[in-house]
Amino acid sequence: MIKFKNVDKIYPGGFKALDNINLTIDDGEFVAIIGRSGAGKSTLIRTINKMHDIQSGELTVDGLNVSTLKGRELRKFRRSIGMIFQSFNLVERTTVIKNVLTAFVPDLNPLRSFFGIFPKEYKLKALDALEQVDILDKAYARADQLSGGQKQRVALARTLAQNPKIILADEPVASLDPINAKQVMDYFKKINTKKNIAILINIHHVDLALEYATRVVGISEGKIVYDGPSEGVNESVLKTIYGEDAGELHFNEEE
């Protein structure tokens, strides 16, 4: 369970990115976070694994106070949380399987880590993760030979190899065409359903948010202005979240 209680995040210069956030995410939920650029969506996600510190309030994950974690304790905590980025974060010049194997680097001794020597057990887990996103056939291809959609599936496989309890995704389909975007979202949904992993996606594509997520959190100027089922998002709700820009939303297209 993820729980925000009166959380504020203030950047240097005084910009308040999160304003008195109160939010609870239960195990196994699929939550889409929507809102205008700069509304605080990425900040919200990145406070969960302490990529960003909060200034006040309390943020807990499975009862752990995230603000107090540091050093080895923080590294261990982050192992239970997968993170997917828009830019894939792959090593383009190496193979797909080696990219997935990087998930196990924290578990290696320094010598194995330096030379990139992974036990057979880890290689089998990496191959299994690739199979879960139907890209096992590309295991020994170089990452730079893949399409954007395939690269994001490799990034998802790398995250699955960690055996996470939570997956955070920061604009995971923003750089993909509509067909590949839907395919990647299909895998997020499959993983959420089959593995009961909580998934939080910061996403600009409102149509995809409504199609795949069971719950939508709308943010405007750092505040939660909507929190409810995707079925409850209507024109009025979108206007609350996006203001006058709500009329410019184009479903099934790049924004």
DSSP assignments along 170-223, one per residue: ESTTTTS-HHHHHHHHHHHHHHHHHH--EEEEE-S-HHHHHHH-SEEEEEETTE
Residues linked to residue 9 through DSSP beta bridges, in sequence order: 18
Alpha carbon distance 226, 53 (integer Å)? 24
Task: Name the CATH code of domain 1-80+199-248 (choices 3.40.190.10, 3.40.50.300, 3.90.1150.10, 3.60.70.12).
Answer: 3.40.50.300
- Which of 140, 65, 76 shows the shortest CA–CA distance to 107? 76
Per residue of the chain (255 residues), give pLDDT as tens. Answer: 999 999 999 999 899 999 999 999 999 999 999 999 999 999 999 999 999 999 999 999 999 999 999 998 999 999 999 999 998 999 999 999 999 998 988 776 676 766 677 888 999 999 999 999 999 999 999 999 999 999 999 999 999 999 999 999 999 999 999 999 999 999 999 999 999 999 999 999 999 999 999 999 999 999 999 999 999 999 999 999 998 777 666 444 433
DSSP structure class, residue 136:
G
pTM tops 0.85: yes
Angle (CA) 186-182-170 rounded to 5° is: 85
**Torsion angle of alpha carbons 138, 144, 146, 150, nearest 10°?**
90
